[in-house]
């Protein structure tokens, strides 16, 4: 594994298109699940350790902005992966910008809607308009280390040891299921006026941070 990691750090791998597609599908799923786990734990403490809350807007434990952020991190830091401090700084910067712009646009396009609000959360030092805070960007920056030195090489390794068809079926299927869940709750359910994840989980007695 050490030899494999050294090859990754030195860009000694040549990936085929099918591997790149599968790898990005896998990262898409893993990073969104990672974000869900982080928020699930954080909001337990934020709420005084009384209740757990289902996060995001889907049936599955996955949050889209973490997947988007992971791609931004990879595209902006991959060539700097031999300099982990720079990876952290760049990642904190680009994900902070993503978070602020996303929050700002949603707030102004949807009549004051906030999907997150650092004004009301713990550890919100460095808070700017409730859209970003120092704790959030620091976490994203540090998480980039796990992404660039753990998740990305792991996904490349998986593409090398698993049969091509099996690898693509697993990765594309997982990403497709997530996307169907996302599109249903984000668009289809609103258009057709059918129950969303929040409605169903609410009826089941599961606490859910609604948006």
> Measured between alpha carbons, how far is 49 from 119 in angstroms, rounded to an integer?
19
Both tokens of 85, joined, read 């401090």
pLDDT tens digits for 35-50? 999 999 998 998 888 8
pLDDT tens digits for 101-123? 999 999 999 888 888 899 989 99
> Measured between alpha carbons, how far is 35 from 63 in angstroms, rounded to an integer?
6
pLDDT at residue 209, rounded to an integer: 63
Angle at 28 between CA 18 and CA 20, to 5 degrees: 20
pLDDT at residue 163, rounded to an integer: 97
pLDDT at residue 211, rounded to an integer: 45
| CB contact at 8 A, 159 and 19 | yes
């Amino acid at each position: 594994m050490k030899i494999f990691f050294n090859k990754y750090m030195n860009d000694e791998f040549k990936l085929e298109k099918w591997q790149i597609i599968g790898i990005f599908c896998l990262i898409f799923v893993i990073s969104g699940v990672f974000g869900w786990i982080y928020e699930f734990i954080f909001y337990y403490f934020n709420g005084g350790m009384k209740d757990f809350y289902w996060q995001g807007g889907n049936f599955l434990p996955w949050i889209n902005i973490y997947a988007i952020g992971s791609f931004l991190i990879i595209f902006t830091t991959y060539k700097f992966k031999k300099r982990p401090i720079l990876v952290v700084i760049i990642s904190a910067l680009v994900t902070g910008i993503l978070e602020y712009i996303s929050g700002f646009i949603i707030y102004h396009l949807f009549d004051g809607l906030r999907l997150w609000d650092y004004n009301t959360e713990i550890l919100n030092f460095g808070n700017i308009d409730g859209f970003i805070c120092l704790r959030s960007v620091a976490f994203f920056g540090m998480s980039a280390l796990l992404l660039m030195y753990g998740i990305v090489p792991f996904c490349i390794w998986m593409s090398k040891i698993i049969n091509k068809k099996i690898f693509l079926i697993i990765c594309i299927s997982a990403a497709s299921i997530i996307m169907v869940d996302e599109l249903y709750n984000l668009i289809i359910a609103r258009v057709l006026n059918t129950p969303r994840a929040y409605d169903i989980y609410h009826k089941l007695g599961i606490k859910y941070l609604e948006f």
